[in-house]
Amino acid sequence: MPSSIPYPMDVERIREDFPILKRKINGHPLIYFDNTATTQKPVQVINAIKEFYEKYNANIHRGVHTLSQEASELYEKAHEKVADFINADWREVIFVRNTTEAINLVANILDLEDGEVVVSMMEHHSNLVPWQDKNLKVVNIKEDGTLDMEDLKEKITKKTKLVAITHVSNVLGTINPVEEIGKMAHEVGALFLVDGAQSVPHMPIDVRKMDCDFLAFSGHKMLGPTGIGVLYGKKDLLEELPPFLKGGDMISHVWVDRATWNELPWKYEAGTPNIAGGVGLGAAVDYLKAVGMENVRRHEEELVRYALDGLSSLGVEIYGPEERGGLISFNLEGVHPHDVAYFLDKKGIAVRSGHHCAQPLMRCLGIKGTVRASFYIYNTKWEIDKFLDALKEIQYGLRR
């Protein structure tokens, strides 16, 4: 990729970097609209991982030999790239497996007894289930799929120890006002965790501006490999809090009966980490920086607007607010979401159907599931046209 791309970005050029987009599915060119679940990988990321194993593979830290030093530098460099991407200090960037692990890590190190945790009705299971053994307060959503800010104001009290809210809903696409929520949390002395799984890959993120105490996200949803994710945490906090997993690399000095902890971020990265995955995530961040996160957001906004217009003219039920991230959940009247996804697949179009790991939200909306189309940098209006044509066929073909 060139160093910076003006808008409108050259999507055809971007598409050439993604080998999987050349695949045919059931005789049709692949149209990949399941980016909320995971994104495809450009050759730059695939090659970075290949190159790591071919040229630099060794275990990191403590090795005196050249390969170990080079691997350590590459792995640390990946932390720096991610830190720069979200405007953090590299020591505040902990590599974990995924968003789920990042949130579980926080749930394990915070002392939340005698206090309350505030989440919202639109959380993914990964930002709900880890808190279910605490005193949990769940903030309602409004009819239009936005967070009920009045309810939030009532539920954040002096008893609140943590507010854990998703930045962008993986079902409704709702973009929550995280800066405002963070202020509300801090006013009562509570900590603020943001689930950034659906925001970090899709829009410019600045943890200083957001003023969150923790930010969790996954590498595989932002062009990176699976098995690598990030927990950002404010340095002062992470230095004070106890470690999560204990063992190799997270220690400084060890006696038979006690140990002292390594400096950040290694204090929270026990055992041999996913080194190649970290390097791959670094390459993914390089790619996204080259595209420009403002461009990513604008491209998705344009695709979503285009798709919403098309879907509205088909008369389908659409969930979530007008202003949203790059995804649309909907239902065709009288057709089960799995059937829609199944017949779209026959046309080479990959979408997701079901409850999207948000069963309480589905219950709140009074539905069993939805079809979800979600977009990324390589998607085009031509693909949306094909998708809308296929939906028309399904409406006609499956109506009873």
Partner 1 sequence: MDYEDRILDHYKNPRNYGKIKGGISGTAGDLLCGDVVTIYLKVEGNRVKDVKFEGEGCAISMASASILTELIKGKSLDFLKKMKEKDFLDEVKVVRTRVSCALVGFRAMKNALKSLDA
Q: Which two tokens stand for residue 32?
A: 């990949």
Contact 320, 169 (CB under 8 A): yes
Q: Which of 51, 241, 336, 380 binds partner 1 (CB under 8 A)?
A: 336
Q: How far apart are CA 275 and CA 8, in angstroms?
A: 35
Contact 122, 174 (CB under 8 A): yes
Q: Which of 135, 339, 364, 388 binds partner 1 (CB under 8 A)?
A: 339
Q: How far is the CB of 125 from partner 1 (least distance, A)?
A: 12
Q: Which of 261, 301, 355, 393 binds partner 1 (CB under 8 A)?
A: 355
Residues constituting the chain: 400
398 contributes a contact to partner 1 by CB under 8 A: yes
Q: How far is the CB of 333 from partner 1 (least distance, A)?
A: 14
SS3 readout for the chain: CCCCCCCCCCHHHHHCCCHHHHCEECCEECEECECCCCCCCCHHHHHHHHHHHHHHCCCCCCCCCHHHHHHHHHHHHHHHHHHHHCCCCHHHEEEECCHHHHHHHHHHHCCCCCCEEEEECCCCHHHCHHHCCCEEEEECECCCCCECHHHHHHHCCCCEEEEEEECECCCCCEECCHHHHHHHHHHCCCEEEEECCCCCCCCCCCHHHHCCCEEEEECHHHCCCCCCEEEEECHHHHHHCCCCCCCCCCEEEECCCCEEECCCCHHHCCCCCCHHHHHHHHHHHHHHHHHCHHHHHHHHHHHHHHHHHHHHHHCCEEECCCCECCEEEEECCCCCHHHHHHHHHHCCEECEEECCCCHHHHHHHCCCCEEEEECCCCCCHHHHHHHHHHHHHHHHHHCC
297 contributes a contact to partner 1 by CB under 8 A: no
| Minimum CB distance to partner 1 smaller for 65 or for 400 | 400
| Minimum CB distance to partner 1 smaller for 77 or for 336 | 336
Backbone conformation region of residue 137, classed left if phi is above 0, alpha if psi is from -120 to 50, else beta:
beta
360 contributes a contact to partner 1 by CB under 8 A: no
The number of residues that bind partner 1 (CB under 8 A) is: 14
Q: Which two tokens stand for residue 65?
A: 């030999």
Q: Which of 342, 350, 364, 388 binds partner 1 (CB under 8 A)?
A: 342
Q: Which of 369, 370, 374, 383 binds partner 1 (CB under 8 A)?
A: 369
| Minimum CB distance to partner 1 smaller for 289 or for 336 | 336
Query: Which residues does residue 117 pair with via DSSP β-bridges, in sequence order?
Result: 136, 162
Taking contact as CB under 8 A, which single stretch among the options 34-42, 211-219, 255-263, 331-339 is the one that binds partner 1?
Answer: 331-339
338 contributes a contact to partner 1 by CB under 8 A: yes
Q: How far is the CB of 119 from partner 1 (least distance, A)?
A: 22
State CA 96 to chain mean position distance.
Answer: 13
30 contributes a contact to partner 1 by CB under 8 A: no
337 contributes a contact to partner 1 by CB under 8 A: yes
| Minimum CB distance to partner 1 smaller for 45 or for 332 | 332
Q: How far is the CB of 317 from partner 1 (least distance, A)?
A: 15
| Minimum CB distance to partner 1 smaller for 237 or for 367 | 367
| Minimum CB distance to partner 1 smaller for 181 or for 340 | 340
Taking contact as CB under 8 A, which single stretch among the options 12-20, 202-210, 285-293, 333-341 is the one that binds partner 1?
Answer: 333-341
Q: How far is the CB of 390 from partner 1 (least distance, A)?
A: 15
Choose, from 357, 364, 388, 398, the residue flagged as catalytic: 357
Taking contact as CB under 8 A, which single stretch among the options 15-23, 29-37, 196-204, 338-346 is the one that binds partner 1?
Answer: 338-346
298 contributes a contact to partner 1 by CB under 8 A: no
Q: Is 212 labeled as catalytic in the residue annotation?
A: no
| Minimum CB distance to partner 1 smaller for 207 or for 362 | 362
Q: Please report, in angstroms and rounded to a whole number, the separation of the first and last CA atoms in the chain.
A: 49
Taking contact as CB under 8 A, which single stretch among the options 28-36, 65-73, 309-317, 339-347 is the one that binds partner 1?
Answer: 339-347
Q: How far apart are CA 40 and CA 328, in angstroms?
A: 19
Q: How far is the CB of 357 from partner 1 (least distance, A)?
A: 11
Q: Which of 354, 360, 364, 393 binds partner 1 (CB under 8 A)?
A: 354
User: What residues numbered 121-140 form the site for partner 1, per CB under 8 A?
Assistant: none
Summarize as ranges the residues that interact with partner 1 (CB under 8 A): 335-339, 342, 346, 354-355, 368-369, 397-398, 400
Active site residues: 357
